[in-house]
Structure 1
Amino acid sequence: MADSVNGRYKYLQKIGEGVHGMVLKAQDLTIGKVVAIKKVSLRTKHGEISLSTVREIKALQHCECKYIMSLLDVFPDMTGLSLVFEFMPHTLYSILKNDSMPLSRSTIRSYASMLLHGVNYMHNIGIMHRDIKPANLLIDENNVLKIADFGLARIYSQNEDKSYSPQVASRWYRAPELLYGSSKYGSAVDMWAIGCVFAEMLRRVPLFNGNTDIEQLALVIKILGNPNIKDWPEINSLPDFKKIHFSHSKGESWQNVFPTCTTANEIALVDGLIQYNPKKRLTAAETLNLDYFTQFDGDVRKSTSKI
């Protein structure tokens, strides 16, 4: 690995590696600021143009929101492109895995608000993220949460009848319509994922942590009960609905799922998002109008405590 590129960025260390590329910590020598550089390939292993790279750049070019990671610079390298972002020392995933970094109730509410403001902005300009999860939610030194990794993002229109791949979103945060193989879906898949993330912040463990898609559905059904065609008529036409059969489950109450200290307003937020029928899930704007957020100041960062 070279020490610097074009005299501007000095690589410091490798900080991560995922499906879509390697992430390096670097120093921007022109402004003396630490940044994160994500190295991505322009082509897949089959020699085709990488759609995830194109989608990420295209989506980020459309976003100007303080709760979404800003793309600071793009430059070519020997293997493809390098995308430059501000450096964020934490992910929500790393915080949830670290018992020495407990989340206060005000911090959970602050993170939820910032996430919802960012997603509301995305949905308003026609972008589905399709991979909301703790590892893609970054936290800066001022405890501000920002949404990252737009490799699966799609620009969409509510008025267009488009088909999309159901193989999106990490399994634990994958909406039931995706698990049943639907290719006709919208921004509600992000809202299901947000409900799962919020529940995980309250519980410190994932709400649904299946090892396979079948197990994932089984865990959802265990808590929500079997999906009801009366409540979700469209489920009858989903590709895999009639292929998969589960034992009857009445479901569990949210009070039994969460710790005894969970408030009614917190449960109302989870219940508004963890709904089988995508049409019945709250939107980001509707969620922000719940009683859970009514005592929040205008600037969501005011109530945020340090990690």
Structure 2
Amino acid sequence: MEDFRPLGRAGEGAHGFVFKAMDKKTHRIVALKKICFNPNHPMPKNTMREICALRVLKAPNIVELYDIRGVESSVVLVMEYLPCSLSDVISYIENPINLSQIKTYMKMFLCGVNFMHRNHIMHRDLKPSNLLISHSGVLKIADFGLARIYKKTDLRTYSHQVATRWYRAPELLYGSRTYTLKIDIWSVGCILGEMINKKPLFPILSQGETDIEQLAIVLGTLGTPDEEIWPGVTSLPDYKKISFSRTTPKTWDTVVPNADEHTLDLIASMLRYNEAERPEADEALNNDFFFVSPRPAPMKEMPPISKIKMKMNEKLSTFEHVLENFPRTNFR
């Protein structure tokens, strides 16, 4: 790794740490994702899947893999460096993102998902912190540590313990192992709702969260599903393990109160219990949401990443100052 000069830690992915560094030969700033493994065993499947996915997915809205390096008992992925995430934009920007900017982010997001799905890859961990943004404002999908190849003709089973719970599709919460690419579409719908509300749609606020708690929140919002609205739900592996009190669905204008009818229509279409009724990514791109006023913002009107980064650094410095001056107390 003598080709790179470390510039600090940049974050943490599903299966490794990410560092910021400068390529000494090109002077390009890169992200180094270090994944450790036991040298006496084969490389972990998740690492192989991430490498294979990034090699295949060469697109404007997918993070780019430059190189792969082996360092003792670890592998290092050399990728393009992106300074912040969509989560940072939602959390730290002084002026909240407006609907026009949200449409631009969503368009880039869905373009990346569409390219990914057309190449038979499902991400399985889409969330705001895995959507990175370049200095010029381009949104790119990152962290493919849970990605899998998907083919309709393959009768394979998958793990249901994927995706961060707040963005996990209900079929996963019910233990399905034969799900489709549509689990990513559910996550997209959750993220669109979060951009509008400036907070997650289905958060668990207690520690020790479980799939049961997450399912209770989803059902409490969207109502109790049955075979009429979700064919096959009663046959899912975990359906009969626990019963919930019957609830009626809330209206979408109360779930996302600041959204117009076109925004609510797109969110509702992606957050359907029956995955067969959720749109494909390319269908979502043709939704009226993108073609009515306000139209998607041009890139020059997107949130300034440099200011967001500055705000993040200020908050981090304040936090570190508080820690340094926190009184040291002996606890018994």
Sort the TM-score into its range (normalised by shorter chain): over 0.9
1:110 and 2:128 are equivalent in the alignment? no
Cα distance change of structure 1 residues 78 and 206 upon mapping to structure 2, 3 Å threshold: same
User: Residues 99 and 294 of structure 2 are in contact (CA less than 8 Å); yes or no, is this contact kept in structure 1?
Assistant: no
Unaligned runs of 5+ in 1: none
Q: Quote the Cα distance in structure 2 between the aligned partners of 1:15 and 1:62.
A: 24
Provide the secondary structure at the position in 2 that maps to 1:233.
coil
Give the aligned length.
Answer: 300
- The equivalent residue for 2:243 is 245
In the TM superposition, structure 1's runs of 4+ consecutive aligned residues that sit over 6 Å from their partners are 296-300
Paired letter, 2:88: S
Equivalent AA in structure 1 for residue 138 of structure 2: V
Deviation at 1:277, TM superposition (A): 0.5
Q: 1:38 aligned to 24, 30, 33, which one? A: 33
Give 1:205's aligned residue: 199
Check if 1:94 corresponds to 2:92. Answer: no
SS in 1 for 2:232: helix
Percent identity between matched residues is 42
Measured in 1, the distance between the counterparts of 2:30 and 2:181 equals 30
Q: For the Cα contact (< 8 Å) 2:103–2:295, is it kept in 1?
A: no
Question: 2:17 corresponds to which residue?
Answer: 22
Q: Is the 8 A contact 1:10 1:26 kept in 2?
A: yes
CA RMSD of superposed structures (Å):
2.0
Match in the other structure for 1:257: 255
Give deviations 1:115-158, integer Å, cap 9, x for gaps: 10000011111000000001100011111100000000011111
> 1:19 Cα deviation (Å)?
4.0
| Residues 129, 43 of structure 1: alpha-carbon distance in 2 compared, 3 angstrom cutoff | farther
1:201-249 CA distance string (max 9 Å, x none): 0001100013321111111111110002112121121000111211111
Change (3 A) 1:299 1:101: closer
Distance 1:22 1:101 in 2: 31
Q: 2, 8, 14: which one pairs with 1:13?
A: 8
- The residue matched to 1:94 in structure 2 has which SS? helix
Judged with a 3 Å threshold, the aligned counterparts in structure 2 of structure 1 residues 47 and 296 are, in CA distance, closer, same or farther, namely: farther
The 1:38/1:14 distance shift into structure 2, 3 A limit, reads same
The alignment partner of 1:37 has SS state of strand
Corresponding residue for residue 327 of structure 2: none
Paired with 1:157 and 1:17, the residues of 2 have a C-alpha distance of 30
Residue 270 (structure 2) pairs with residue 281 (structure 1): no
Change in Cα spacing, 1:55 to 1:169, as seen in structure 2 (3 Å) is same
Within 2, Cα distance between the matches of 1:76 and 1:194? 34
Answering whether residue 284 of structure 2 is matched by residue 294 of structure 1, we say: no
The separation in 1 between residues aligned to 2:9 and 2:25, in whole angstroms, is: 21
- How far residue 110 of structure 1 moved from its aligned partner, in angstroms, is 0.7
Compared CA separation, residues 79 and 300, structure 1 to 2 (3 A): farther
User: How far, CA to CA, are the matches of 1:77 and 1:301 in structure 2?
Assistant: 42
Q: What letter matches 2:280 in structure 1?
A: T
Name the CA distance, whole Å, in 2 between partners of 1:137 and 1:128. Answer: 15
Distance 1:205 1:224 in 2: 17
Partner of 1:69: 63
User: TM-score w.r.t. structure 1 length?
Assistant: 0.92
Instruction: Call closer, same or farther: CA 1:266–1:152 in 2, change over 3 Å.
Output: same
Q: Which runs of 5+ in 2 are unaligned?
A: 305-332
Whole-angstrom distance in 2 between the partners of 1:299 and 1:109: 5
Secondary structure, aligned partner of 2:246: coil
Q: How does 1:130-149 map to 2 (within 5 A)?
A: 130-149=124-143
1:122 alignment partner in structure 2: 116
For residues 146 and 296 of structure 1, do their structure 2 counterparts lie closer, same or farther at Cα, with a shift above 3 Å needed?
Answer: farther
Contact 2:168 2:186 in 1 (8 A): yes
Q: Which has the greater radius of gyration? A: 2
